[in-house]
Structure 1
Amino acid sequence: MAAIALLSCGGGAHAAGQGDEGQLARVVDEAIRPLMEENGVPGMAVAVTVSGKRYVFNYGLASKEGGKKVTDDTMFEIGSISKTFTATLAAYAEARGNLSLAEPASKYLPALSGTPFDEIRLLDLGTYAAGGLPLQFPDAVSGEESMIEYFKSWRPTYAAGTYRLYSNPSIGLFGYLAAKSMGAPFADLMEETVIRGLALKSTFISVPDDRMDDYAYGYSKAGKPIRVTRGVFDSQAYGVKTTAADLLRFVEASIDDTGLEEMLRHAITATHTGYFKVGPMTQGLGWEMYAYPPKLDDLLTGNSARMALEPSKVDKIVPPSAPRKDIWINKTGSTNGFGAYTAFVPAERIGIVMLANRNYPIAARVKAAYRILSTLDDKLGSADPR
């Protein structure tokens, strides 16, 4: 890995002097400022970790109406990056002995007995391989009762474990059943185990009243202020709000779990297990992984709209691949008003978090993150960019 001090750039816009932060700030500026201008992004927070050192850079406005600037305390919606929190909670439940990913979903929700969920494992739900669950629930599903009725009447298109189709109902049911196995509400368990266990001070599913001033407004395609609305499984699938620094701490725990409670360490590591491949991407629990160093085109393919919207036949990894350090791990997240991306390489002890209050193209996020991390890592910098 190339140390920041070796970067061939001058002092950054967000740091005085010629130290590491000043040099990194210049690199981040060159990637982020044009991105914001080209995509009409009002505000962003970018956090980078390098060998245990944290750097946070804030840009623009958290609220255009009030002219409130993005600060270290600004919370953004992270959309589907929330799924990595849900996966961690489920892995925690397995570490505690409350569930087994190999068991059928109906074991943990008897109302689904006698349905295809007798053959669909928790693991299938957690990896979007249940057999064709859709990206979103139909509008008629508005609460727990209608959610259960929907799953009772749903019929798979594919055999469980054979096709991947990205799905909020799939990962949502995964988190819902994990919480049922532990005998408490999902949000309470997330707070008690993952959020508190990682000492995250500005991470919430429901932002408390005394922190609402720190909650950024997102902006729709029409430029209107917007925040995410509640829905079935919103907490499990896309409901986390957090700061760049807090999300970076979550990433750092995946890079180095030293000092964490034993079951939480086990859970975080377990989410990096590889279960199947779809093209260049290896599916873990919540996280998506790539051979290291990755080609930029592979990252763009793995994070493409096609990967999110179309079913893909999977190549099972038997036995599942053990968590490893020399791998690129990432996840995107979006709501109607926000866009997020995070990526890290445990072996090189580098990672990045990018949070924005506009849902801008994922390809632009991936390219910016790759550019920034390439300046920190000789292997990325010398990899074939295409």
Structure 2
Amino acid sequence: MRNRRIARWLGAAPLLLLMAQALPAPALAGAPRSAAATINSGSVDKVMADSLATQKLAGGVVGVMKGGKIVLVKGYGMADLEDGQAVKPDTIFRIGSITKQFTSAMLMMLVERGQLSLSDPISKYFPDFPHPEGITVRHLLDHTSGIHSYTDKVFMASRGWREHDTKEMVSYIAGQDNLTDFPVGTEYRYNNSAYVMAGAIVEKLTGKPYAVALDEMIVKPLGLTDTVYDDERTIVPRRAKGYGLRDGKLAYPVALSVSVSGGAGAIRSTATDMLRWHEALFAGKVVKPESLALMIEPAKLKDGRLTSQARKPGPDGRAPMDYGLGLGVGTRDGHRLIGHGGAINGFNAMLYTYPDDGTSIVLLTNTDGGANELYWKVAQAWLGSQGGATSK
């Protein structure tokens, strides 16, 4: 049944996951490959130019994959405002919570190896965690654990700037005065604490730091060249500086050590790597079809409701997307989509695959909130000019 659900969700082509039909190896194109792609690229150029003209976006990279081939990767704006360095197609950005799908995928790989079950109680991995009753690994991954997310003003002001290791972060989460926000499984609340703990489980089961596990389990096997567990102390050629807004003008963001993000948001990468990652994930090169089916199956609460049914519409009035295990799933402007956004001080990113369109679109920006609305304009500019539904 689950395999049939994923078949319906992903569509017949080009993501023929259940037939184990891998897509062609991605081919990076320095320029669009067709007249249609040229038109689409021009539409994206205008959207990005209009955003940069507001002087509230430092820069960004747009990447598009169509039918397993990368047809557009283009940089816009500035990677470093002080030194006048432009964003290039291979500029490196922090991807924030897009990290969560990597963490989820690694745990699903461990499930496939028989080292883990989604129904395992978290007490199996965190025996000293207070009041863990009823909380399982699945609850961590679908944001229904009820554990309070540590990313509040108290933590950010008092400790966010300081380097932490995974053990310290889990200890902080367990020691929060407001440890839980609701009984397990009764509500949905986006939860960074849960994914820091999920990353800790990766470390416990592999016996290796998250950075090493990521490299060995995903990065090297897929041939990703710029996807790394980040460290702000490392000198990284091609790395973009991050920016925020102060009094409506671009400025450096509030200081944050990326180490506090762990399995919730600590990866840095490029647009090309992000597209190759999604191609591999949905072509069955990362986890088995039944594991991917679980990752995109909408989570439910104890009362049987989808988690989306228990949430309010967003600021734009749109119904919330459903959430699986590290991946959001839903429909926007007539296009089904699967993916995630990510925000971490100075950076904002979005990566979604549109299965019916055979297309993946990524936007990486080096400005707080830079992708939140802009991504959907970019997606509309690309998909809309191909005859698909457009935003109203």
TM-score, normalised via structure 2 length = 0.76
List 4+ stretches of structure 1 deviating above 6 A. 208-211
- Deviation by residue 1:20-48 (Cα, 9 ceiling, x = unmatched): 54323202112221122235212111000
Whether the 8 Å CA contact 2:243–2:253 is kept in 1: the answer is yes
Distance 2:112 2:244 in 1: 40
* Equivalent in the alignment of 1:164: 188
Distance 1:331 1:348 in 2: 18
* Equivalent in the alignment of 2:137: 122
2:338 pairs with 329, 333, 353, which one? 329
* Equivalent in the alignment of 1:238: 265
Whether the 8 Å CA contact 1:15–1:21 is kept in 2: the answer is no
* Equivalent in the alignment of 1:285: 325
* Equivalent in the alignment of 1:71: 88
Whether the 8 Å CA contact 1:132–1:164 is kept in 2: the answer is no
SS state at 2:236 partner: helix
SS state at 1:214 partner: coil
* Shift of residue 145, structure 1, vs aligned partner: 4.5
Distance 2:273 2:255 in 1: 20
* Equivalent in the alignment of 1:346: 355
Distance 1:235 1:135 in 2: 12
Distance 2:33 2:112 in 1: 47
Distance 1:87 1:98 in 2: 14
Whether the 8 Å CA contact 2:227–2:273 is kept in 1: the answer is yes
SS state at 1:118 partner: coil
1:47 pairs with 29, 53, 63, which one? 63
Coordinate RMSD, CA, aligned: 3.0
Distance 1:45 1:362 in 2: 10
SS state at 1:188 partner: helix
Q: 1:225 to 1:162 in 2, by over 3 A?
A: same
Structure 2 letter corresponding to 1:339: N
* Shift of residue 129, structure 1, vs aligned partner: 0.9
* Equivalent in the alignment of 1:271: 295
Pairing 1:216-227 to 2, within 5 Å after superposition: 216-222=240-246, 223-225=250-252
Q: 1:105 to 1:46 in 2, by over 3 A?
A: same
Whether the 8 Å CA contact 1:254–1:269 is kept in 2: the answer is no
Distance 1:99 1:127 in 2: 16
Pairing 1:1-386 to 2, within 5 Å after superposition: 15=31, 19-38=35-54, 40-54=56-70, 55-112=72-129, 115-134=130-149, 136=151, 138-139=154-155, 144-145=167-168, 147-148=170-171, 150-151=173-174, 155-206=179-230, 212-222=236-246, 223-225=250-252, 229-230=256-257, 233-257=260-284, 260=285, 263=287, 267-268=291-292, 270-276=294-300, 277=306, 278-279=308-309, 280=319, 281-291=321-331, 294-295=332-333, 327-360=336-369, 363-375=372-384, 377-381=386-390, 385-386=391-392
Q: 1:173 to 1:267 in 2, by over 3 A?
A: same
Q: 1:267 to 1:378 in 2, by over 3 A?
A: same
SS state at 1:62 partner: strand
* Shift of residue 152, structure 1, vs aligned partner: 5.5
Point out where structure 2 has 5 or more consecutive residues left out of the alignment.
Answer: 1-10, 12-29, 301-305, 310-318
Distance 1:59 1:51 in 2: 24
Distance 2:142 2:222 in 1: 24
* Shift of residue 346, structure 1, vs aligned partner: 2.1
* Shift of residue 234, structure 1, vs aligned partner: 1.5
SS state at 1:133 partner: coil
SS state at 2:389 partner: helix
Whether the 8 Å CA contact 1:197–1:264 is kept in 2: the answer is no
Point out where structure 1 has 5 or more consecutive residues left out of the alignment.
Answer: 2-13, 297-325
Structure 2 letter corresponding to 1:197: P
Whether the 8 Å CA contact 2:40–2:382 is kept in 1: the answer is no
- Deviation by residue 1:65-122 (Cα, 9 ceiling, x = unmatched): 111121122101111111111111111111111111111101112222xx32131011
What percent of counterpart residues are identical?
A: 23
Distance 1:246 1:268 in 2: 19
Whether the 8 Å CA contact 1:116–1:156 is kept in 2: the answer is no
* Equivalent in the alignment of 2:22: none
SS state at 1:179 partner: helix
TM-score, normalised via structure 1 length = 0.77
Whether the 8 Å CA contact 2:202–2:213 is kept in 1: the answer is no
- Deviation by residue 1:244-290 (Cα, 9 ceiling, x = unmatched): 11111112223423xx36x4776555422221331442111111111
Whether the 8 Å CA contact 2:147–2:193 is kept in 1: the answer is no
Structure 2 letter corresponding to 1:126: L
